[in-house]
Amino acid sequence: MEKASASAWRKFNARYNMIGNVCKTCNTKYFPPRIVCKNCGRNTKMEEYQFSGKGEIFSFTKIHVPSEAFKESAPYVIGVIKLEEGPMIEGHIVDSGKEPQIGAKVKQVFRRMYTDGEEGLITYHFKFELI
Amino acid sequence: MAGIVGYGVHVPRYRIKVEEIAKVWNDDPESIKKGLNITEKSVPGIDEDAATIAVEAARRAVDHSGINANEIGALYVGSESHPYAVKPTSTIVSQAIRTGHKLTAADLEFACKAGTAGIQMCAGLVDSKMIKYGMAIGSDTSQGRPSDALEYTASAGGGAFIIGSDKSEQIAEILKTTSYTSDTPDFWRREGAAFPSHGGRFTGEPAYFKHITNATKQLFEMTGFKASDFNYAVFHQPNGKFPIVVSKALGFEEKQIKDGLLTPVIGNTYSGASMLGLAAVLDIAKPNEKILLTSFGSGAGSDSFAIEVKDKIDEKRGKLTKVSDIINTRKIYIDYSTYLKNRGGIKKR
């Protein structure tokens, strides 16, 4: 559970909008964003890059025994999503009236991820929904 | 005058039927369905709230409008279920749609009419050239006390409208707007209270009917229009019955209100209700047609609008996610216990 508001705030662009970055030297796209390109090292020239939020399910699993933070959401689905632009990331796949399948197309949606108790911050984050 | 440049809506996929709620409280479902003219209502997912609904609607509105969100100079979110008591929903939306920071933003609350109050505020700002575009959102995950009549109707959903003054971009022009407001204790929720209270029958005549009727008649006087001049009429819809009654009293026919009446299938989305009704009508309206919109918020007040559809509406339809697509696609029916869990109604200590 994330209690520090500053660390959450620094990640809003990535968490709300799937903004990663691209190395202009080799055109490799990264999400989440990296400071140094793994291909270019010192020659890294990073720029902000807006991901489309679309991709397909590479793999998934249904969580029945969750951590405390996600207890009320269980059972829920976590997937490895291959984004249209290349990177593979992990993300929640929301219930959308359709069973997830490997290869199924998904798009990002905006949802609550967790809440810090009754009085703390609410963390919002992208999740994925089957198209 | 100011007009609508784009719009978008969001309604959660979850639904609960009247029969499922009636079963728990030993009510007669047929009597409820007939009395309220409602068959089922939308329910937010456990990870949805007024902010997530507002963001989804706002993103669709930006896509539909074709504008750069960075040019939005005002953003208002109307709701009576803002996730925070102190910390704006509007700033969460602005971050999520990337408006940039040269922006005025605020959360509004006026029961079910805070969304249309936002439209009026944006219209004033764009007409006075203080901003290029304003976004007004009505979004709610409304609360109904278990076993109360409101439990059958209180639902979740929202609509976002982008308002601009450049006529070449407008899909519909706001010809005139007016409001009727009075201090009326028909419905309220105190700070920290989990559920609203209401004055039973008092919510009808002195509240809903009086304010909608007076605001609409004011609009008729200001514009010279009469009911038959409008192709469509949208009234706030706390249930499926009130808008039918008030529309008849004002001289409208059923064919004018049927396309904007969504409560029978999604429930009362509170601040989202009038916005969703207007969006459903814009989805099918043709250029030069006229729409009357009169919202209602308990406490109490009504905002009335005369809107004329413009040629641009057909050009922008390709980017539109229609209300019917959202409310009819892959609905997920849930039982009462899941409904309670999703609404935070199960206390563990």
What is residue B349's predicted lDDT score, i.e. its pLDDT? 63
Contact A112 B48 (CB under 8 A): yes
Examine the pLDDT at A1 and tell me if it is beyond 60. Answer: no
Q: Are residues B64 and B212 in the same domain?
A: no
Bigger pLDDT: B64 or A7? B64
Q: E strands, chain B, where?
A: 3-10, 14-17, 40-43, 72-78, 104-108, 133-141, 156-164, 172-181, 187-188, 197-198, 232-235, 290-294, 301-309, 332-333
Residue B348 lies in a domain: no
CATH number of the domain bearing residue B36? 3.40.47.10
pLDDT band at B108 (very low <50, low <70, confident <90, very high): very high
Whether B10 is catalytic is: no
Residue B335 Cα distances to A21, B46, B78, angstroms: 44, 14, 29
Give the range of the structural domain holding residue B147, as residue numbers without chain letter: 3-170+323-342
pLDDT band at B203 (very low <50, low <70, confident <90, very high): confident
Least confidently predicted of A14-18, A108-112, A119-123: A119-123
Q: Does domain A53-130 have CATH number 1.10.10?
A: no
Residue A9 forms contact with B (CB below 8 Å): no
Q: Are residues B28 and B147 in the same domain?
A: yes
Q: B59, B259, B274, B235: which is closest to B157 by C-alpha?
A: B274
Whether B205 is catalytic is: no
Q: Are residues B203 and B129 in the same domain?
A: no
Question: How many angstroms separate the CA atoms of B27 and B38, rounded?
Answer: 14
The C-alpha of B181 sits at a distance from chain A's nearest C-alpha, in angstroms, of 35
Q: Are residues B295 and B337 in the same domain?
A: no
Whether B112 is catalytic is: yes
Residue B53 lies in a domain: yes
What is residue A125's predicted lDDT score, i.e. its pLDDT? 97
Residue B122 lies in a domain: yes
Exposure of B173 in the CB half-sphere (CA atoms within 13 A):
15
Q: Are residues B211 and B187 in the same domain?
A: yes
Predicted confidence (pLDDT) per residue in B18-27, tens digit: 999 999 999 9
What is residue B346's predicted lDDT score, i.e. its pLDDT? 81
Domain boundary assignment for chain A:
53-130
Residue B8 lies in a domain: yes
Phi, psi angle pair for B212, to nearest 5°: -65, -45
Residue A104 forms contact with B (CB below 8 Å): no
Number of domains in chain B: 2
Q: Are residues B143 and B208 in the same domain?
A: no
Chain A's closest residue to B15, CA to CA, is: A97
Predicted confidence (pLDDT) per residue in B166-187, tens digit: 999 999 999 999 999 999 999 9
Predicted confidence (pLDDT) per residue in B240-297, tens digit: 999 999 999 999 999 999 999 999 999 999 999 999 999 999 999 999 999 999 999 9
Residue A25 forms contact with B (CB below 8 Å): no
What is residue A7's predicted lDDT score, i.e. its pLDDT? 84
Examine the pLDDT at B348 and tell me if it is beyond 80. Answer: no
Question: How many angstroms separate the CA atoms of B83 and B75, rounded?
Answer: 17
Percent of chain B with pLDDT over 90: 93
Predicted confidence (pLDDT) per residue in A4-58, tens digit: 688 889 999 999 999 999 999 999 999 999 999 999 999 999 999 999 999 999 9
